[in-house]
Amino acid sequence: MSPRALLSVYDKAGIVDLARGLVDLGWEIVSSGGTASLLAGEGVPVTEVAQVTGAPEMLGGRVKTLHPAIHGGILADRSNPDHVADLEGRGIAPIDLVVGNLYPFTSDPGIELIDIGGPTMVRAAAKNHAHVGIVVDPGDYVPVLDELRADGSLSDTTRHRLARAAFAHTAAYDAAIVRWFDTLTPDGAAEGAAGPLPPTLHFALERTGTLRYGENPHQEGARYRESGQVGWWDEAVVHGGKAMSYLNLFDTEAAWRLVHCLGDEPTAVVMKHANPCGAAIDIDIAAAYAAAHACDTVSAFGGIVAVNRPVTLAMAESMTEVFTEVVVAPAYEPDALAKLRQKQNLRILEAPAPSWPALEVRSIDGGLLVQTTDVLALDPSGGLDRTGWRVVTERAPTDAEWADLEFAWRVAARVTSNTIVLVRDRRAVGIGAGQQNRRDAGRLAAEKAAGRAVGGACASDAFFPFRDGLDAAIDAGVTAVIQPGGAMRDDEVIAAANEAGMAMVLTGERHFRH
């Protein structure tokens, strides 16, 4: 008896060549619907599923392969005499290879793109992989044909690999359907009935490649993406430099997000260990980079640079004087790119703007911590939404102070807590990050500012629990402060600001980041 292959695919790329190759090897092809029509039209001998089952398709194609003549042939354990007898008694021929992929549910989610027969076939073949090959990825067509030509059959190792891929394929498919259901109300309207944190979460991730190493050289690292989704990393163009490590990706992600949080004017960020050590807005991107680098030139060594404008030759010439791990920008002028490529180890990325995930996820023992993503509220013009902000001091901020306060608030929301950010002329001049108490964060920021914060602004990601938390900002010459408020001693902190002639704004919203 000739071996039989059941071919039923939505993505028909390469299926004709696969079918011809199987026929040349003496295989019988069974197929249904559009796949059968395509093969017949290309002159490939094919038997319709309806001829095998004796039952024509019904319910508009919802039922085609759901029949014992198909699933008995797929699921029979050839080493079990009872199974073999069942097949013989019912006149069912075994199926040795199943090739199937599913309706593209994520392309246009809806009831009619929920595949039933396809996943059932795929799972049946994968369950019985000791005897049946299952192929869901067109990229496997050539290797499978090559192995069949060379050896006459698929090895246990290959069938096992293909079965794993098949279950991953159906798992990703089901996960996409669950996520779609979470967006619906019972009447089918897209209202997000399950809320931002549904009762179950189903992630389907695919590895895009391994990294040089993890956080440390003895750790392994890789990047994964959601199945069926793409992010800016998938569209980024790498113009030069060595392979990326885990921390390179982590820090570059943080830098790229921050530079897109700071407004539409020419902006540069220098990132180190996922915290900015510099951020600035200026008249052009070279000036913005120079100002961002000047915030903390010591920490900028070995950092990540992100800018929201094409890199110019003037900026590139400044950058080549500093050891930098990665630069990411929307574009590069040709002479700037040539200049940067002279630094052989510098990773040069050209990328589209990032998007924001709906959820943030971290591992804990036995599960995950999940929260909605912390984003700054914006008004229709793209500025910060000041709804709920209150000036609580005797003096209100000047226009220049408002500009610095907003810039400082944007930066502080992306710095590890506890943090104090000092800004002058929309340039960060001192950043105290990740301290266990706010007073030390303020002292660190003031020390780094080294006199450059006079007349500038201070942002605190959470309230000042004591008035001494404000002392460093006062000593640094800051004239305006922005903070959430809500401490028991708010009155004391406000009084300290009034004594110093400062303006203080309470936002009513904190931005812790751990």
Q: How far is CA 79 from the centre of its chain?
A: 45
Mean pLDDT of 402-406: 96
pLDDT at 483: 96
Residue found by looking up tokens 């929201």 in the block: 308
pLDDT at 233: 95
185 vs 363, which has greater pLDDT?
A: 363
Mean pLDDT of 494-509: 95
Give CA–CA dist 75/124, Å, rounded.
Answer: 6
Residue 187 has pLDDT above 70, yes or no: no
Residue 433 has pLDDT above 80, yes or no: yes
pLDDT at 151: 92
For 8-27, b/e burial (b = at least 16 CB within 10 A) is bbbeeeebbebbbbbbeeeb
Mean pLDDT of 224-230: 86
Q: Which of 82-86, 92-96, 113-117, 412-416 has the highest mean pLDDT?
A: 412-416
Q: How many CB atoms lie within 10 A of CB 230?
A: 11
Give CA–CA dist 234/168, Å, rounded.
Answer: 21
pLDDT at 184: 76
Residue 78 has pLDDT above 90, yes or no: no
* pLDDT-based confidence at residue 485 (cuts at 50, 70, 90): very high
Give CA–CA dist 442/478, Å, rounded.
Answer: 11
Residue 452 has pLDDT above 70, yes or no: yes
Of 23, 24, 30, nearest in space to 8 by CA: 30
Q: Give all domains of the chain, ordered by start, each with its CATH number.
A: 4-179 (3.40.50.1380), 235-350 (3.40.140.20), 387-506 (3.40.140.20)
Query: For the chain, how big is the Rg over CA atoms in Å?
Result: 30
User: Any alpha helices (H) in 48-91, and if so which ranges?
Assistant: 49-53, 68-75, 81-90
pLDDT at 1: 72
Residue 80 has pLDDT above 90, yes or no: no
End-to-end CA distance of the chain: 64
Q: Which residues are CB-neighbours of 188 under 8 A, at least 6 positions away?
A: none
Residue found by looking up tokens 């259901």 in the block: 181
Give CA–CA dist 368/181, Å, rounded.
Answer: 22
Q: In the chain, what percentage of residues exceed pLDDT 90?
A: 66
160 and 129 in contact (C-beta within 8 Å)? Answer: yes
Residue 194 has pLDDT above 70, yes or no: no
Mean pLDDT of 455-460: 97
Give CA–CA dist 260/249, Å, rounded.
Answer: 17
**Lowest pLDDT segment from 6-10, 95-99, 127-131, 392-396:** 6-10
Burial class (CB in 10 A: 0-12, 13-18, 19+), 199: exposed
Q: Which residues are CB-neighbours of 114 under 8 A, at least 6 positions away?
A: 103, 105, 177
Of 397, 394, 392, 421, nearest in space to 408 by CA: 421
| DSSP letters for 240-280 | E-SPPPHHHHHHHHHHHHHHTTS-SSSEEEEEETTEEEEEE
Q: Which residues are CB-neighbours of 190 under 8 A, at least 6 positions away?
A: 183, 184
239 and 330 in contact (C-beta within 8 Å)? Answer: no
* pLDDT-based confidence at residue 296 (cuts at 50, 70, 90): very high
Mean pLDDT of 68-92: 86
| DSSP letters for 172-192 | HHHHHHHHHHTTB-TTS-BS-
pLDDT at 35: 87
**Lowest pLDDT segment from 98-102, 405-409, 430-434:** 98-102
Give CA–CA dist 3/78, Å, rounded.
Answer: 13
Give CA–CA dist 167/188, Å, rounded.
Answer: 29
Question: Token digits for 451?
Answer: 């006199």
Q: How far is CA 41 from the centre of its chain?
A: 42
Residue 132 has pLDDT above 80, yes or no: yes
Residue found by looking up tokens 């809500």 in the block: 486
Strand (E) positions, 273-419? 275-281, 303-307, 324-329, 347-350, 359-364, 367-372, 390-391
pLDDT at 190: 52
- Active-site residue numbers? 127, 273
| DSSP letters for 436-474 | SSHHHHHHHHHHHHTTTTTT-EEEESS--SSTHHHHHHH
Residue 60 has pLDDT above 80, yes or no: no
Q: What is the mean pLDDT of the chain?
A: 90
Residue 192 has pLDDT above 70, yes or no: no
pLDDT at 185: 64
pLDDT at 234: 94
**Coil vs helix vs strand at 139:** helix
220 vs 229, which has greater pLDDT?
A: 220
Residue 388 has pLDDT above 70, yes or no: yes
pLDDT at 167: 93
**Coil vs helix vs strand at 409:** helix
pLDDT at 188: 52
pLDDT at 4: 92
Q: How many CB atoms lie within 10 A of CB 378?
A: 11
Mean pLDDT of 248-267: 95
Give CA–CA dist 58/76, Å, rounded.
Answer: 25
Q: In the chain, what percentage of residues exceed pLDDT 70?
A: 97
pLDDT at 106: 74
